[in-house]
Structures are given as structure tokens and as C-alpha cells.
Structure 1
Amino acid sequence: MAAHTRQPSERGKLDLFRALPGDFAARDAQDLMAYPFFSLSKSHRIAPIDFTAGDVSIRVEAVPDHGMATIWDADILIWAASQIVEARDAGLRTSRLMAATPYEILMFVGRGTSLRDYQRLKAALDRLQSTTVSTSIRQPAKGRRHRFSWINEWQEKTDGDGKPAGIELIVPDWFYRAVLDDALVLTIDRAYFDLTGGLDRWLYRLVRKHGGRQREGWRFDFRHLHQKSGALSPFKRFAFELRDTIRRQPLPGYTLFLETEIGGRVLLAFEPSPACGQAVDRLVLSGTRTIVPSGTRGSCYQEPKQGLTCGNKTWNRVLNLESNQQSNFEECARDVQKLIRDTARGLGTAAKKSAGPAISSAPRSPETAPEPPLLPRSGGAR
């Protein structure tokens, strides 16, 4: 019987990359910013995330022992991405096997360094390792999926005297390849680490990914945002929290707006914050007389008080059709249908005029003179 040959572990095949010292730019992977990969709550989540949009499919699963990795746990991946990009740009060799001290990681992501913070870091590493992801993103063949965990493995190291000597972790190949691609990484504001709410953190990453530094900003449908977040909360609660976020304006570098269309469709719009201190109305209406709540009449949640925010716009922004086709597909369809109806109505009117009797050129008496047409009502600017 042939002797069984033990296969070398993944750790033995990888070179060790030691974390770089210093305080440098924070980078995030665009795929992680655009799609629902993490729990937005610190509570123990077991329910999976299932997201499908076009050719993109994502399923995130958790185990009962640790629960799903949260958006706060993702700070470790931001640290890893920042290290890899910084080393690559400096001409250094990078690797998926990374070594650092807990102190270095905690300081980079703006956390404390107490014993409790160290314990939370270890719990975050456990959640990242035990959470599994299956996705079709960046797969060569349609229908294929890549399955991985956010951290393949991690371990604490000790020196010869048994004292702690840092930790080593291995990031998955799917994540590593995305980070090495310049087109798939964005620099984020370090003030992001100061955001305490899960929805605020998720929204900043989404805004940074889709809006970037576009002067005119972008906008999203509320219901599309609810689907894209992967949150367990019902839509009514999600819309309430989103409106409160617009009221508080917590996102560094961006201003949020609430836009309501004539048909009642509620949109979140955002753009880079202006340097001026001029304030305008936060609620921008597209021809509506009243604000349309989030699809319901009554609610146990009170609407946040309206306030003022920076900016110089009083009209709805142009649709971000190229970057956000999913959110605006329904609106495009409605616009096309309206155009068809208006064209048909105009052709019918022209046909009736051409077939009607000749109009007398005799002047009308004052009693039969038609009244001047009414001026069109001023609606919200588009």
C-alpha cells in the first residue's frame, strides 16, 4: 500500500508579509462597498443574506457559535487592503499571509487598546473566519460561484518566552486579487472609522463607491437601498432610519438629500459637500405639494424634524443611469411610456385639425372671443 503523502498547508506555500508601520491612507475594496456582504447590526445574526441583481448573486452564511461578520469587523479587511496597496505602491512584495500586532490593527481603525478592545478584535477575527460567502462577482463563466471566508485562518503567535508576539492571518484569494487591481480599490475618509451606526457606515461606503467625487452626485430609490443593504429590518423601519440619517448628515465629505417625485417615489440623493456654508432646504420636491411618506399612512415611527443642510441645489439631480441601472430602471420605463402616450396624443390632435372644416377668417365678436389660455402650473424643476 502506497504511503500517504501529507499535503503542505496553505501557510507553508505563502511568503510572510509583515505590516508596514505608519499612518497612511485607508483603502477599501469596491465590491465590498457596493454589495451586502456584512451584517449592519452588532446583534448576533444567523439569518443568511441572499442578494440577486442581474448577473450578480451573493449568499452570506453564518454559524451559530460566532454569528455573521459585521460591518465593524470589515475594518480589519480595510486595514489589510490598505497594507497591501501601500506595500505594492512602495515596490514591496505582498502576500495573503499577513503578520501584525493587535495594537497596529486597532490603532489604524481608530479603536482603543484596552483588554476589552483586544478581546473584541479576536471575536471579530473569529466571525470573519466563520462567515462564508458564495458569489458570482468576478467569475469568468456565467453561473459559476466562488466560495470563501473573509479570513482563511488566523492564529496568535508567541515568542520564545511565551509572550504574545502578534497575530498572523490569511486573506482569501478573491479579496486579495480585488485589492491588487487598481480599478477595484478606493481611498476612503479616515473619519469613516468614527461612524458608530451600522447604517451610516454602510451608506458611506455605498455613496463613496457610486458617487465618488462626481460634482452632481447620484441618487437611489429607497426600496432599492433596502434590498441592497441586506438588513433584516422591515422597509418602514429602514426608511425611518434613512430619513434620520439625512437629518443628521453624518457622512464625511458628502451631503444627503431627500427627493420625492410627483408619483410619490422617494429617493436618496447625495453629492460631495460644498466648501461654502450656504444652506438650502434638505427636502427637494419634484412638483409635489406634500411630502409622501415611505409608502404607508400611519406609522409608529415619527418623521425626523426637517432641517437645513449645505448645498446650492433646489432641483432633482439627473439620473445616474450608467452607474445605477437597477435603481432607476422602473423610472426609465415610466418615462418611455409617457413619451409614447404624449406622442400618440399629439399625432391624434394634428390629424383632427387637418381633417376639420375650414375656419372662418371673420373677426369674432367680443361675446364669443375665447378666453386666454391658462399658464402652465409651475412644478418642481427636474
Structure 2
Amino acid sequence: MTNKQAVILKQGNLFEVDSPLHGKVRGERSVMDFPFFALSKVAVLKPLDYKLGNVSIQIRPSATGIATMYDKEIILYIASLMAQEIGRGGEVDQEFTFTAHDFFRITGVARPGKRDYQRFTDALERLQGTQIKTNIQTGSQIDRGWFSWLSEAAANYTRLPNGEEQLRNVKVRLCAWLHRAIQRDGHIYSYHHDYFRLGTIERRLYEIAHCHCDGEEVEMPLDLLSAKVGSTASLAKFKQHLKDVEADDRLPEYRVTLKDVIPAEGRTDSRGRRISKPDTVVLLAPRQKKPATAVLEATA
């Protein structure tokens, strides 16, 4: 058998794929609203713990670090495939098969090279290796133990006539926690196509605004927004970054504005001296507000 014949036979045995994805990228609300992914491109090898009100999130790293906001693109893509199939009225289980080519098309990588494919497979490894524990319930159920975003991830390669291997498609098994959220809860939001051009903090700001701005401006204290973003920087550095975001004003669909306010109630330091320093609040506002009638209908 020639190499060319071997290639043809192997291609004939490829998995039946769920791609291509048609329409917009979509995400599930809890994964948008809370900080489940590392912001840094540098490997985060220490566990992360978040406590936001009654919500707790614990994240343990894989051998190569905690799954990042860039790795999250794969989760968004899978969630979009699932939402697409639900929209068609089809049966949706936890296993999905898709081509790397379609993933790159959706995320805006026009001509993926060897380095892009390596990043892609590294991301699959982190998504499978990162462990999460949270009390956020999905589908009226709480998972008390640890889970990974992908319980399985297998890459299928084709050997080319020149002896090189080419990634054809990937078969993954999505965690039950997120599968239930998409299938039973149905809190699904569409993403703007410019999302993939943003940095990690800008992506989190977009997601939080997308969850909470229902056609109206939302105000958040600086420390609360920092926690929801998942920032590990000081509040001063985080505030400076927000000032840069405000000045650039390139967040799709939303604007970010910082405002200093004087607390209504006087505060004192440990020596009993009055604190006159204002608090910083962050305004997240849609670029286009809903008509008044639409707001009334939404709140009725």
C-alpha cells in the first residue's frame, strides 16, 4: 500500500464532525460572569480561590498551569456547537468532534501555522488538566467534587505523503457541569466577533457587561469588579488598566467609565481621623440603549 493510499483510507475513517459552526459564538452565563480562567499568558501554577458573595470557586492548575482566557476560546466554541445543535432540535450529549480549521476560522486565525496548532493542543491539555470546584449549581444540581472542563480530549491526525502529521479533528467530552447549564438552564449569550481581538481583562469586562447591562448602565465598586474579573493585581494597577480601557474606548458594544464618589457615610481610619478619599466606581454602559418600551417589557 502506498503512502497516498494510506492517507485516503485514514481520512475515510475520520470521526463524524459537529462542525462547522454557523452563526455567532455563544457562551453560558455563569462561565461569563465569574472568573474561572487565568488572565496571564504566563503559566499560573498556584491554585486560585475566589469568594464572591455566596459564590465560591477553587481552581487547581494542571502540570502546565491553569487554563487561560485564551484557552477558554475552545470552551466557547464547544458551547456554540452545542447551542447550535439544540437550536436544530437534535439530541445533544457531552461528546463533540470538530475540526481545528473551523475553530481557527471562528476565532479569527486566518492562516494558522505550526505555532497556532501547538497552542491549540496545549490549550486542550490545560482544559483537561485544570480542576475546578464551585458551589454554583447548574441544572438544579451542585457538584461537590472537582471537575475538569474537558474530561476527555483526543486529537486525530492524518499522516501526509511527506511523513508529516496533520491535525484533522478533535474529539472532546464536555464536563457535566457546563453541559447541564447549557442544556437545562439555557442562559446563553451571543458574543461580538471582536471579542477575540481583545486582551484578557478587556474580555472579562465585556463578558461582565454583557451579563449585567440589560440595555441600561450598571455601576460596580472597583474592588467588586476586580474580583469578578479575576485580577490578582493591586487595586491601583487594576484602576490604571481600566483608565487605559476607558481612554482607548474599543470595547465592543459597551463603554467603561470610572467615577470617584464621596461616601454618603463618613469613614475614619485606625486613629479616628476622617477619611476624605473618594471611592472609585466603574460604570459599564451599552453603546446603544434599549428603547423605553423595550425596557418596560423586559422588566414587566
TM-score by length of 2: 0.79
CA displacement, residues 251-277 of structure 1 (integer Å, 9 cap, x when unaligned): 1011222122123111110211149xx
Contact 1:19 1:98 in 2 (8 A): yes
Structure 2 unaligned segments of length 5 or more: list them. Answer: 1-14, 264-277, 290-298
Cα distance in 2, alignment partners of residues 256 and 233 from structure 1: 19
Q: Structure 1 75/274 Cα, relative in aligned 2: closer, same or farther at 3 Å?
A: same
1:77 counterpart SS class: helix
Cα distance in 2, alignment partners of residues 204 and 141 from structure 1: 28
Q: Structure 1 164/183 Cα, relative in aligned 2: closer, same or farther at 3 Å?
A: closer
Q: Structure 1 138/182 Cα, relative in aligned 2: closer, same or farther at 3 Å?
A: closer
Provide the residue aligned with 1:228 in structure 2.
228
Match of 1:176 among 168, 173, 179: 179
Cα distance in 2, alignment partners of residues 159 and 262 from structure 1: 64
**One-letter amino acid of the structure 1 residue matched with residue 99 of structure 2:** T
1:176 counterpart SS class: helix
Contact 1:96 1:176 in 2 (8 A): yes
**One-letter amino acid of the structure 1 residue matched with residue 170 of structure 2:** I
1:152 counterpart SS class: strand
Contact 1:17 1:98 in 2 (8 A): no
1:167 counterpart SS class: strand
Provide the residue aligned with 1:130 in structure 2.
129
The count of corresponding residues between Structure 1 and Structure 2 is 256
Provide the residue aligned with 1:201 in structure 2.
203
Are 1:259 and 2:259 counterparts?
yes
Q: Structure 1 79/141 Cα, relative in aligned 2: closer, same or farther at 3 Å?
A: closer
CA displacement, residues 108-142 of structure 1 (integer Å, 9 cap, x when unaligned): 12124111111110011111111100000006688
Cα distance in 2, alignment partners of residues 183 and 97 from structure 1: 18
CA RMSD, 1 decimal: 2.3
- Per the TM alignment, residue 163 of structure 1 is displaced from its structure 2 partner at its CA by 6.1
Are 1:33 and 2:32 counterparts?
yes
- Per the TM alignment, residue 182 of structure 1 is displaced from its structure 2 partner at its CA by 5.3
Q: Structure 1 134/237 Cα, relative in aligned 2: closer, same or farther at 3 Å?
A: same
Provide the residue aligned with 2:269 in structure 1.
none
Cα distance in 2, alignment partners of residues 34 and 115 from structure 1: 33
- Per the TM alignment, residue 180 of structure 1 is displaced from its structure 2 partner at its CA by 1.5
1:181 counterpart SS class: helix
Contact 1:202 1:229 in 2 (8 A): yes
- Per the TM alignment, residue 177 of structure 1 is displaced from its structure 2 partner at its CA by 1.0
Provide the residue aligned with 1:4 in structure 2.
none
Aligned residues: percent identity?
A: 27
Provide the residue aligned with 1:70 in structure 2.
68
The 5 A counterparts of 1:179-190 are 179-181=182-184, 183-190=186-193
Contact 1:23 1:108 in 2 (8 A): no
Cα distance in 2, alignment partners of residues 228 and 67 from structure 1: 20
Match of 1:82 among 61, 80, 83: 80
Cα distance in 1, alignment partners of residues 188 and 158 from structure 2: 35
Cα distance in 2, alignment partners of residues 134 and 230 from structure 1: 16
1:147 counterpart SS class: coil
TM-score by length of 1: 0.63
The range that moved more, 79-88 or 146-155, is 146-155
Are 1:120 and 2:119 counterparts?
yes
Match of 2:170 among 161, 167, 172: 167
**One-letter amino acid of the structure 2 residue matched with residue 148 of structure 1:** F
**One-letter amino acid of the structure 1 residue matched with residue 285 of structure 2:** E
**One-letter amino acid of the structure 2 residue matched with residue 265 of structure 1:** D
Provide the residue aligned with 1:42 in structure 2.
41
Greater RCO, 1 or 2 (C-alpha within 8 Å, sep 6+):
2
Contact 1:98 1:169 in 2 (8 A): yes
Cα distance in 2, alignment partners of residues 62 and 36 from structure 1: 14
